[in-house]
Amino acid sequence: MLRTLFAVRGQSQQLLRRSFTPHHSGQRPQQIFPCRIRMKSTDSPGEAARKLRAKSTLYYITAGGVLIVGLSYAAVPLYSIFCQAYSYGGTTSQGHDAEKVEHMVKVNDRVLKIRFNADIGSSMRWNFKPQQHEIKVAPGETALAFYTARNPTDKAVIGISTYNVIPFEAGAYFNKIQCFCFEEQQLNPHEEVDMPVFFYIDPEITQDPALEYCDTITLSYTFFEAKEGLQLNFPSYAKPHAATA
């Protein structure tokens, strides 16, 4: 047993001497003890899990931000289409049945005051106002009102308008046959135009318990400055009114 240990020890010392012995020129050193270096992570398992969770949270936040930005661009046209289709949020009905208009019966004992309001967006440079403060209309009767828009600047400005009705519930019965909403309107420098609104109140409003005591309806328009070439796409069920300039 001792002889074996001494023999192994002698062989080891001999190998060590050979590994550190200088080599003559042109000879490649012999690799005696090849080794592999492994870098150990200094992070504990808990620290690694925390970093992984932080990265995952960052990815989710970034994806959510991109989604919100994308939806913000689509929100206005999509909301407008939804409101036009379902008269939601005081938005008036766009379509009208020509035969119904021709044969609808005027309700003489229920006269409504229709008030008109005009606003502009913060960046809009037009002067915009209704020509009449209010008119009286009976359900089942067509009526015509006018707004005036003027461009006081020295360059052409393109505008586009949105509208709603107060009270909101009345939007389902406020039908516009012709108006200037959701259509681009370009006014040249110092140009002024009259914009008509041809509408009627559906006689079925008299059958709605929620509007039994409603005697005043406000139609409000807001004009915003539109970039040149901007188009709002409407599906087949939400056809825009004919534009007037």
**Per-residue pLDDT, 226:** 84
Across the beta sheet with 216-225, the strand order is: 134-137, 112-120, 216-225, 157-166, 185-187
**Per-residue pLDDT, 159:** 92
71 in the same domain as 125: no
233 belongs to a structural domain: no
> Tokens at residue 206, please?
């008299």
161 in the same domain as 119: yes
75 in the same domain as 125: no
**Per-residue pLDDT, 9:** 61
209 in the same domain as 121: yes
175 in the same domain as 113: yes
- Whether residue 177 contacts residue 156, with contact meaning beta carbons closer than 8 Å, is answered with no
193 belongs to a structural domain: yes
Q: Which domain holds residue 154?
A: 102-225
158 in the same domain as 123: yes
124 in the same domain as 160: yes
Average pLDDT per block of 10 residues along the chain, 245 residues long: 57 57 52 50 69 77 71 47 44 55 85 95 91 95 94 93 90 88 88 94 93 94 77 40 40
194 in the same domain as 112: yes
**Per-residue pLDDT, 38:** 53
**Per-residue pLDDT, 135:** 95
Return the CATH number at 182.
2.60.370.10
171 belongs to a structural domain: yes
What SS3 state is found at 144? strand
Other CB atoms within 10 A of residue 38 CB: 5
**Which of 63, 87, 111 marks a domain boundary?**
87
Dihedrals phi, psi of 193, to nearest 5 degrees = -135, 155
126 belongs to a structural domain: yes
Number of structural domains in the chain:
2
146 in the same domain as 58: no
32 belongs to a structural domain: no
204 in the same domain as 114: yes
196 in the same domain as 109: yes
203 in the same domain as 135: yes
